[in-house]
Amino acid sequence: MKFKEKISLEKVFEKDYKIKLVESENNKEAIITHFLHNSKNGISQFFKKDAIEYSKEILQYKYPQEEITNVVAEEALQYGIFKTFEIPFPPAENPKFTFIDLFAGIGGFRLALQNLGGKCVFTSEWDKEAKRTYKANFGERPFGDITKEETKKYIPDNFDLLCAGFPCQAFSIAGKRGGFEDTRGTLFFDVAEIIKRKQPKALFLENVKGLRSHDKGKTLETILNVLRNDLGYFIPEPQIVNAKNFGVPQNRERIYIVGFHKSLGIDTFNYPKPLDVQVTFADVKEENVPPTKYYLSTQYVQTLVNHKARHASKGNGFGYNIVADEEIAGAIVCGGMGRERNLVLDFRITDYTPTTHIKGTVNREGIRKMTPREWARLQGYPDNFMIPVADASAYKQFGNSVAVPAIQATAVEILNTLEIR
């Protein structure tokens, strides 16, 4: 069968096709895009069978009068039947190492490691809007729920590095030891299970600073016990790394856990030293911000001030600060007060524009909320990183992301330790 035209994956999975190829719990688009990105290496074998099956399904819809066999579908894949779209961050042509990206979010780990010559061979993320952003930038749709065996089965063998920014959860420890089985039912258990099955050379895990004190320290103690004693990895003492020390004006502290397979004989590791650079918000400040979209009315500013005062009197924190050009921002976060918190109540900047009219009032203080692009810059994302989602989702995604420069600096030390250059 001769194919006269290529088929747009965008139309197949998002627009024209009425057959429900993409539903919340299937991985069809993830399988096809992962296959396409690995069609020239042995990793494609982990996706090939199902990629052929789903390609056959698409071709049958596109060419209802033709007989589409598995052979025809495979030939179509080899021919390059699917028209992909241009992406700002394509995979490395000749990678120096391979990695997988778990709890991927919008791809902060992936961006950092691709910058260093790495090839991502599997990625998973459950959030639908984050998947949109990830796909727009890297051309792959992440697999879904990593707790499900039907997702885990697609993880390739023999990758070098496992990356995971997994959520922090308490364990119901049945015994005194706090080992592998005691973590069952948590997302860390799924990370540990993948490590146990796949035995990567190295691990790079990221979590909130509060992991150290979570459940009176039992959570971190159990994690380290599983990694060191149950799984046999060399795990140096985890370190709190602050993004402000690596070129972004954000005071963002996160705990990093690094590990190396016992077969490598590695027994030392040095986390990256802070860079000798000073950056402020002025370095990431966006110019020509739309006044009617981001500036706050005088009335709204007063409401924030009053609300913060009420919380302070009760001994509660309230999530916003005013950040001047010469300062650095606090950690950008999401949550706590729902959508409004994501949009408005985290951090402001000072920008005096007395003529700005909003909702019939003049904002004499000239205070505005940060833009999504400024949040992206605070996390070290380059300006060609695409933001295809609405502002509410963008704030959430960047607030939940890793700080790319800090991740990259640590990854450099991991690769040096592995002697990958």
Please give the positions annotated as active site: 168
The rounded distance, in Å, linking the Cα atoms of 323 and 400 is 20
Give Cβ neighbours of residue 96 (< 8 Å, ≥ 6 apart).
116, 117, 118, 415, 420, 421
The rounded distance, in Å, linking the Cα atoms of 344 and 339 is 9
The tokens for 279 are 């950056």
Instruction: For Cα atoms 382, 291, 327, give the angle at the middle one, nearest 5 degrees.
Output: 55
CA 121 to chain centre: 15
Query: What secondary structure, in 3-state letters, does the chain show?
Result: CCCCCCEEHHHHHHCCCCCCCCCCCCCHHHHHHHHHHCCCCHHHHHHHHHHHHHHHHHHHHHCCCCCCCHHHHHHHHHHCCEECCCCCCCCCCCCCEEEEEECCCCCHHHHHHHHCCEEEEEEECCCHHHHHHHHHHHCCCCECCCCCHHHHCCCCCCCCEEEECCCCCCCCCCCCCCCHHHHCCCHHHHHHHHHHHHCCCEEEEEEEHHHHCHHHHHHHHHHHHHHHHHCCEECCCCEEEEHHHHCCCEECEEEEEEEEEHHHCCCCCCCCCCCCCCCCHHHCCCCCCCHHHHECCHHHHHHHHHHHHHHHHCCCCCCCEEECCCCCEECCCCCCCHHHHHHCCCEEEECCCCCCEECCEECCCCEEECCHHHHHHHCCCCCCCCCCCCHHHHHHHHHHCCCHHHHHHHHHHHHHHHCCC
Q: Which of 318, 335, 352 is nearest to 392 (CA)?
A: 335
The rounded distance, in Å, linking the Cα atoms of 130 and 113 is 19
What is the rounded radius of gyration, in angstroms, for the C-alpha atoms of the chain? 23
